[in-house]
Amino acid sequence: MWDRTVNYLFNQRPAFEREGGAGYKPGLETSYALDRLYQEPHRRFRIIHIAGTNGKGSTAHLLASCLQRCGYRVGLFTSPHLVDFRERIRINGRKVSRSYVMQWVADYQKKSVGNLQPSFFELTSTMAFDYFASRNVNVAVIETGLGGRLDSTNIVTPEVSIITNIGLEHQQFLGNTIEEIASEKAGIIKYSVPVIVGRAEGTVKDVLEAQAQRMYAEIKFSQDKPEVIEAKHEGGMLHLSTNNYGEIDCQLTGDYQVENANTVLTTLNLLKRLKYRIKTDAVREGFAHVMENTGLMGRWMTLQEKPRVMCDSAHNPPAFEKAMKQLKTEPCDRLHIVLGFMADKDVTTMLKLLPGGAELYFTQAHTSRSMSATDLQIAAKKCGLKGNAYNNVVDALAAARSAASEGDLIYVGGSMYVLADLLESLGYDK
């Protein structure tokens, strides 16, 4: 019954994350129609809306964790999931129940929906809003799926909008230039609703400022007055010295989390002004226990020691560059990299960012969007890189473990979907 329900959702229209372009459905008409069908549930709770190229997930989870520790009942809607569909919809870290999802889908099927033909994401967005309303959340942190202006979630009017950063991604849908993509992301800026931007420079900053001005929306760039004064790795945590929250230990230890931390702390400063009860000790607890509080996985995540096996979700050039920069600084005898990419990514650019001298293991995810391991091996060869190809990440990791010594480091990454296959094989989130 559960598998049938989830398959029904995915088969409404091919989901973008499974089928790529075939699953992309721009426009808000269907989302508004579904919203009316359920009596506009998103109007029954406060909302913080997040768009951006990288860092949306980490920012959303950190913010939700802090608000949860401050005593709020917090809904969290994110995508994609890694192991279980229910990861997408949580309240105070707890996944929506299977029974709720099955009942909701059964009720939806009985409704007269005419020719709506919603996509997977349109339907699950509506489900999340309806669930949060029915469970009386105080505030929901909502992450866009793709873009912003035409994203299914953009029917909401939030109290705060967040744009983490802007990079080249999904050009076939969002535009061929960084400015065009910025314009699409800026579509979440609403009339008179303040917006926090994590990082933006040059013409991208100009685009965001112009849109905020058109919408009479206050805009703050967290990079201009960063909350984080200093960051260092200490005791298995990312230790942050901050302006307004003292010393913070962050459970997410990727160097790129400093930017996300600045975004979150700047947002919390704004929420204080909006009369949210933001307590310093609660913020520290939110950062220190974000994984337990929200169920976040796959961000610079250590899976075992001796040899150390870790995974990370960086999957486009800007994020991958930061991940590889940090990977080069990790102490180890030898570095092994298990790698798989989606076929629609800029794979050549990311291959050129790999640390020299690493042992490479090419693999693929169980999705039709994935580049095959042999095609990745061929692409790597053109970049002067060698490695064996494996049909799945389980076999690739087994090969890396077999070749590794206790003092070595094995990194698994390149795609969220490779991570999903890996974590599922290891029994995570069950």
16 pLDDT above the threshold of 50: no
Q: Are 182 and 273 found together in one domain?
A: yes
Within a 13 Å sphere around the CA of 125, how many CA atoms are in the beta-carbon half?
27
Cis ω before 118 (30° cut-off from 0): no
Q: Are 345 and 242 found together in one domain?
A: no
Given a contact cutoff of 8 angstroms between Cβ atoms, the answer to whether 26 and 119 are in contact is no
The Cα 324–Cα 63 span in angstroms is: 26
The CB density around residue 55, as the number of other CB atoms within 10 Å, is: 26
pLDDT number for residue 148: 81
Within a 13 Å sphere around the CA of 384, how many CA atoms are in the beta-carbon half?
7
Nearest partner of 420 among 14, 7, 81, judged by Cα: 81
Least confident of 72-86, 175-189, 300-314: 175-189
Q: What is the CA radius of gyration of the chain?
A: 21
173 pLDDT above the threshold of 70: no
Give me the mean pLDDT over the 58-64 stretch. 98
CATH number of domain containing 329: 3.90.190.20
Given a contact cutoff of 8 angstroms between Cβ atoms, the answer to whether 144 and 51 are in contact is yes
Give me the mean pLDDT over the 218-244 stretch. 96
Q: Are 263 and 345 found together in one domain?
A: no
Q: What pTM was computed for the model?
A: 0.93
User: Phi-psi bin for 278: left (phi > 0), alpha (psi -120 to 50), beta?
Assistant: beta
Within a 13 Å sphere around the CA of 283, how many CA atoms are in the beta-carbon half?
22
* H helix intervals, 157-247: 171-174, 178-185, 202-214
Last residue of a domain, one of 241, 262, 294: 294
Residue 177, phi then psi, degrees to nearest 5: -120, 160
**Helix 56-69 and helix 257-273, axial crossing angle in degrees, nearest 10:** 50
pLDDT number for residue 305: 94
Residue type present at position 360: L
Q: Are 290 and 318 found together in one domain?
A: no
> Can you give the residue range of the structural domain that contains 378?
301-425
Percent of the chain at pLDDT exceeding 90: 82
Within a 13 Å sphere around the CA of 67, how many CA atoms are in the beta-carbon half?
32
Give me the mean pLDDT over the 415-423 stretch. 94
Give me the mean pLDDT over the 65-88 stretch. 96
Last residue of a domain, one of 226, 261, 294: 294
Q: Are 255 and 306 found together in one domain?
A: no
18 pLDDT above the threshold of 50: no
The Cα 425–Cα 192 span in angstroms is: 47
Number of domains in the chain: 2
Q: Are 148 and 237 found together in one domain?
A: yes
Nearest partner of 282 among 68, 44, 136, 11, judged by Cα: 68
The CB density around residue 180, as the number of other CB atoms within 10 Å, is: 14
Of the pLDDT bands very low, low, confident and very high (cuts 50, 70, 90), residue 116 is: confident
Q: 277 or 145: whose pLDDT is higher?
A: 277
Q: Are 201 and 236 found together in one domain?
A: yes
pLDDT number for residue 153: 96
70 pLDDT above the threshold of 50: yes
Q: Are 326 and 270 found together in one domain?
A: no
* Interval 118-127: pLDDT, tens: 989 999 999 9
Q: Are 144 and 271 found together in one domain?
A: yes
pLDDT number for residue 331: 93
Distances (CA, A) of 274 to 138, 194, 268, 335, 349: 14, 10, 10, 48, 43
pLDDT number for residue 429: 63
* Interval 343-399: pLDDT, tens: 988 999 999 999 999 999 999 999 888 999 999 999 999 999 999 999 999 999 999
With respect to residue 430, please indicate whether it lies within any of the assigned structural domains: no
Q: Are 413 and 269 found together in one domain?
A: no
Sign of the dihedral defined by the CA atoms of residues 168, 179, 140, 249, in that order: positive
The Cα 390–Cα 374 span in angstroms is: 8
Of the pLDDT bands very low, low, confident and very high (cuts 50, 70, 90), residue 262 is: very high
Provide the 3-class DSSP secondary structure of residue 336. strand
CA angle 123, 128, 132 (to 5 degrees): 150
CATH number of domain containing 121: 3.40.1190.10
Provide the 3-class DSSP secondary structure of residue 388. strand
Q: Are 334 and 206 found together in one domain?
A: no
The Cα 176–Cα 302 span in angstroms is: 36
With respect to residue 319, please indicate whether it lies within any of the assigned structural domains: yes
Give me the mean pLDDT over the 336-342 stretch. 97
Token code pair at residue 80: 């994609």
Last residue of a domain, one of 278, 294, 310: 294
Q: What length is written for the chain?
A: 430
Q: Looking only at Cα atoms, what is the longest distance across the chain?
A: 62
Of the pLDDT bands very low, low, confident and very high (cuts 50, 70, 90), residue 181 is: confident
Q: Are 227 and 115 found together in one domain?
A: yes
Beta bridge partners of 75: 91, 140
Q: 176 or 398: whose pLDDT is higher?
A: 398
pLDDT number for residue 430: 52
171 pLDDT above the threshold of 70: no
pLDDT number for residue 26: 62
Nearest partner of 125 among 6, 18, 264, 32, judged by Cα: 32
Number of H helices, E strands in the chain: 17, 17
Within a 13 Å sphere around the CA of 306, how many CA atoms are in the beta-carbon half?
0
8 pLDDT above the threshold of 50: yes
